[in-house]
């Protein structure tokens, strides 16, 4: 059995601990208001936050984070399960060779004209160069298609077939010194004051863990505990450490794996708990829910790890927190594509309340550093292990563009199948009476916005979107008329 793990945290240290143990988690940031969560829990118990122990506080926050992501996961799962319509699969590589050769010739001519047009374009921030396209231009190719029920995605996602369980883990850490609890200091002044107080002393680090079986709702919560002894630090050492910025956003104002490691003289207890997530404790929790720890192993060598950077820069970013399923595939079409399990995105449309006709669609202005940077397409990305194409598209469109699953209806899909790689476009309508407010959630986009449907062809479109837009527009209009 394969079990997918979702980590309700953006902590690089927690991800690194899991990755080193063979578990590449899906990262879903919980966005929990931690002070409010603690106040609400304290009020429910009839006490103040200060009266709650460190163990109670980290347990409360770990649960709050895990359940926030669980609720988000349920919304995606519900929207995917409620999808209607057909999945149309196109097989462009099966088209006649002569037609394909003609299309490639047309693509070459199009590339030359696009480059010439770009040279005369006053919008110098747009790098629409079809020579850098990661998807072949199949315009002019008569693509054979097959039609399936929209829920028949499993035959195209080998990882989805074997993954029938999803676990969500939330964590929170807090440091106890001289009877006082310390979280993240956030400011240099507070960090310096705390570190000066910690110098030469021993404190206790508590890390709360909450693990949820997403499909059954069963929950296990546990807390790890470790004693940490600090070296005596001079004022100069404290100043230099604070200037690194490392202690500002970590519980207790120190890290074991970074600059702070040299000032930690001893640890009694679980060292992984000091890093933010206890592997022995998590393994026990996984077993408590009826799974085996090796079921979570999914590590594969990822190439070119780089963090996303400034979307208005043409410089390719240097680091990135990769998700399961991320990575380049040498496609049967002769190009490299992103996504070991394929990729998917959402084409979201808004309709007129009176006529029901499509008036706008959500479009993404792609970061310059991305493939065909500066062009317009739809928000989407690599499908994670264990996801269907619909689930992957919904998750990615929320992470990138704030397209909220509870506010849309999935009404159809189109999959371009290249054999060993696929891209699925999920068609969706904004629900009547609901409002989706798209915005750029990360740095993969320069802009996300509603675009009048008649204006879409006027944009500098991604190669595949430019090719498919006429048929996509026709299908949206047809779906709208049916509803």
**Which residues are the active-site residues?**
172
- Cα–Cα dist 233/195, whole Å: 8
Distances (CA, A) of 375 to 94, 176, 461, 464, 467: 28, 51, 5, 11, 13
Dihedral over Cα of 231, 56, 35, 322: its sign: positive
- Cα–Cα dist 180/190, whole Å: 14
Q: By three-state DSSP, how is residue 359 classified? A: strand
Residue 53 contacts residue 312 (beta carbons within 8 Å): no
* DSSP line for 372-399: TTT-EE-SEEEPPTT--HHHHHHHHHHH
Torsion angles phi and psi, residue 228, rounded to 5: -125, 125
Residue 228 contacts residue 264 (beta carbons within 8 Å): yes
Distances (CA, A) of 237 to 44, 73, 91, 259, 261: 43, 44, 63, 11, 13
Residue 396 contacts residue 405 (beta carbons within 8 Å): no
How many C-beta neighbours within 10 Å does residue 225 have?
A: 18
Residue 118 contacts residue 128 (beta carbons within 8 Å): yes
């Amino acid at each position: 059995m394969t079990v997918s793990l979702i980590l309700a945290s953006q902590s690089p240290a927690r991800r690194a601990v899991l990755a080193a143990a063979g578990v590449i988690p899906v990262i879903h940031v919980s966005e929990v208001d931690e002070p409010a969560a603690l106040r609400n829990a304290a009020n429910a118990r009839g006490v103040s936050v200060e009266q709650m122990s460190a163990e109670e506080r980290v347990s409360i926050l770990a649960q709050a984070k895990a359940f926030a992501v669980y609720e988000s996961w349920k919304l995606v799962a519900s929207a995917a399960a409620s999808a209607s319509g057909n999945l149309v699969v196109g097989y462009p590589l099966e088209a006649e060779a002569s037609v394909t050769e003609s299309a490639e010739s047309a693509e070459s001519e199009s590339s030359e004209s696009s480059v010439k047009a770009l040279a005369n374009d006053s919008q110098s921030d747009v790098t629409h160069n079809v020579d850098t396209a990661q998807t072949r231009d199949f315009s002019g190719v008569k693509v054979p298609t097959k039609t399936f029920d929209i829920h028949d995605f499993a035959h195209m996602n080998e990882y989805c077939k074997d993954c029938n369980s999803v676990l969500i883990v939330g964590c929170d850490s807090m440091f106890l010194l001289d009877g006082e609890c310390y979280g993240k200091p956030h400011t240099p002044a507070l960090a310096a004051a705390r570190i000066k107080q910690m110098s030469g002393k021993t404190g206790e680090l508590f890390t709360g863990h909450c693990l949820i079986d997403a499909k059954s709702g069963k929950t296990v919560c546990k807390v790890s505990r470790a004693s940490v002894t600090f070296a005596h630090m001079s004022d100069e050492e404290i100043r230099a450490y604070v200037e690194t910025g490392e202690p500002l956003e970590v519980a207790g104002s120190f890290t074991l794996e970074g600059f702070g490691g040299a000032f930690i003289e001893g640890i009694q207890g679980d060292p992984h708990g000091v890093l933010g997530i206890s592997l022995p404790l998590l393994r026990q929790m996984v077993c408590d829910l009826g799974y085996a720890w090796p079921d979570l192993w999914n590590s594969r060598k990822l190439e070119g790890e780089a963090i996303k950077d400034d979307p208005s820069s043409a410089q390719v970013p240097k680091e990135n927190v990769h998700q399961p399923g991320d990575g380049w595939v040498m496609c049967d079409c002769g190009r490299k594509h992103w996504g070991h399990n394929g990729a998917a995105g959402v084409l979201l449309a808004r309709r007129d309340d009176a006529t029901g006709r499509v008036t706008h669609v959500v479009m993404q202005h792609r970061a310059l550093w991305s493939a065909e940077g500066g062009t317009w397409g739809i928000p989407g990305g690599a499908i994670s292990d264990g996801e269907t194409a619909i689930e992957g598209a919904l998750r990615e469109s929320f992470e990138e563009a704030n397209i909220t699953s509870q506010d849309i209806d999935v009404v159809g899909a189109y999959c371009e199948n290249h054999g060993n790689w696929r891209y699925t476009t999920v068609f969706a309508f904004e629900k009547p009476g609901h409002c989706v407010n798209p915005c750029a959630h990360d740095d993969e986009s320069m802009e996300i916005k509603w675009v009048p449907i008649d204006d879409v062809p006027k944009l500098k479109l991604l190669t595949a979107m430019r090719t498919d837009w006429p048929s996509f527009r026709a299908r949206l209009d047809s779906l709208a008329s049916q509803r």
